[in-house]
Amino acid sequence: MSEMLLQGTAQGDELRLSGGGAWTAQNARALEALIDGETARREPLKAVAIDMGAVERLDTFGAWLLERLVRGFTARGCETRVTGLKQDYRALMDELHAVKSEQIAAHKPGGPAAAFAAIGRAVASIGTNATSFLNMLGELSVVMLRVLGRPRSFRFTSLVHQLDNVGWRAVPIILLITFLIGCIIAQQGIFHFRRFGADIYVVDMVGILVLRELGVLIVAIMVAGRSGSAYTAELGSMKMREEIDALRTMGFDPVEVLVLPRILALIIGVPILTFLGSMAALYGGGLICWLYGGIDPEVFLQRLKEAITLDHFKVGMIKAPFMALIIGLVACVEGMAVKGSAESLGRQTTASVVESIFLVIVLDGFFAIFFASVGM
């Protein structure tokens, strides 16, 4: 079959090529190999005659390959003639003849330099990210002050709507997860403490761990995954469809209309969720102590009162609004950074969740140092 497509015979310094069959997309692969084979002939050639009389069909693929054949021989200094081409295909050939070959740059995959460039860009992007984060924080503060100056302009309905989404609707899943985490810590504690008869200290461990660290961390991570990603996706798709530009042209500040209610909703919602989550975790811990460790609820509560102080509770609750602020800021910055494509929306949403969880944990570390030095 493929021999039918193109046959060539060289007579002296003249090459006669005759095409045949269908020069179409389906045969393009075979045809390309034949054409490159002919162009690579080693004989010194002066003239090339291409007879296209037997070609039944020609589409853009075939026509381009013919054009490439002609150009290949012309570039070698041969006199090239094409004969027998059907009248119908003349217009197509003329069209392709006009294609400028210098524009055809091969698509080059990046070498090692491209890998270094990617690393460089990634490092530089840490700086740009930090700047845009601080920008958003500054803008948010300005807007907040402005809204305090004229409270009527605050979007109360939007705040309530967001609170419903990120607070109220998150309650069941937060309760369930923190409850399970409380159960697991208590079970592990009892299992290991029992070996040296220190079962009762499991109450201290559960109480302190849950109130100081775990309650707020689990809630923050859940909220980053649940609401932070939603914020990024919402703002990102609004950005993609020029809705944010539309707001701006109508004289609204997107930070005031979209970002402020969202972040405030998180700052109000996360401490409440942290409180609920901590209680659920303590409840789960107490339940396991009773069922698995044989510690009666009265004993558990008695021990809990001795083990924890109000400070432990305060430490957890003080951290909560700051975590909320971090999550909200990261989500909104990433949302605003979305460009036109669907892929970019996915990338920013991923970045939003990863960055906010990372920053939440880093912030938690700083708080640990801070509280240790103020003696809480």
Partner 1 sequence: MAPNGKANGREVVIEVRGVTVGFGERRVLNEVDLDVYRGEILGFVGGSGAGKSVLMRTIIGLLPKRAGKIKVLGVDLDAVSDEERRTIERRWGVLFQQGALFSSLSVRENLQFPVRENLKLSQRLMDELVVAKLEMVGLDASVCDKFPSELSGGMTKRVALARALALDPEIVFLDEPTSGLDPIGAGEFDNLIATLQRTLGLTVYMVTHDLDSLHTVCDRIAVLADGKVIAAGTMTDMLASQHPWLRAYFHGSRSRTGTAIPAKPTV
Per CB under 8 A, the segment of 149-157, 265-273, 303-311, 341-349 that binds partner 1 is: 341-349
Q: Which of 84, 341, 358, 362 binds partner 1 (CB under 8 A)?
A: 341
What sign results for the dihedral spanned by CA atoms 136, 142, 148, 151? negative
Tokens of 15: 């090459």
Per CB under 8 A, the segment of 42-50, 99-107, 164-172, 214-222 that binds partner 1 is: 99-107
Nearer to partner 1, 38 or 256 (CB): 38
Determine contact, residues 170/271, Cβ cutoff 8 Å. Answer: no
Nearer to partner 1, 107 or 195 (CB): 107
Tell me: does residue 95 bind partner 1 (CB under 8 A).
yes
Per CB under 8 A, the segment of 188-196, 220-228, 285-293, 333-341 that binds partner 1 is: 333-341
Tell me: does residue 88 bind partner 1 (CB under 8 A).
yes
Smallest Cα–Cα separation from 4: which of 25, 31, 32, 26? 31
In the range 204-263, which residues lie near partner 1 by CB under 8 A? none
Coil/strand/helix, residue 198: coil
Question: Which residues lie across from 22 on neighbouring strands?
Answer: 57
Amino acid sitting at position 172: P
Q: Which of 9, 11, 87, 103 binds partner 1 (CB under 8 A)?
A: 103
Within 8 A by CB and 6+ apart from 174, the residues are: 218, 219, 222, 273, 276, 277, 280
Tokens 């990210």 — which residue? 129
Residue 57 Cβ, how far from partner 1 at the closest point, in Å?
Answer: 10
Cα separation, 264 vs 276, whole angstroms: 19
Q: Which of 11, 42, 87, 106 binds partner 1 (CB under 8 A)?
A: 106
In the range 343-362, which residues lie near partner 1 by CB under 8 A? 343-344
In the range 54-73, which residues lie near partner 1 by CB under 8 A? 59-61, 64-65, 68
Q: From residue 5 to residue 24, what is the string marking binding to partner 1 with x (rule CB under 8 A)?
A: -------------------x
Tokens of 209: 């761990």
Q: Which of 6, 15, 17, 28 binds partner 1 (CB under 8 A)?
A: 28
Smallest Cα–Cα separation from 319: which of 288, 262, 258, 278? 278
Length of the chain: 376
Q: What is the Cα 78 distance to its own chain's centre? A: 54
Residues that bind partner 1 (CB under 8 A): 24-26, 28-29, 32, 59-61, 64-65, 68, 88, 91-92, 95-96, 98-100, 103-107, 339-344
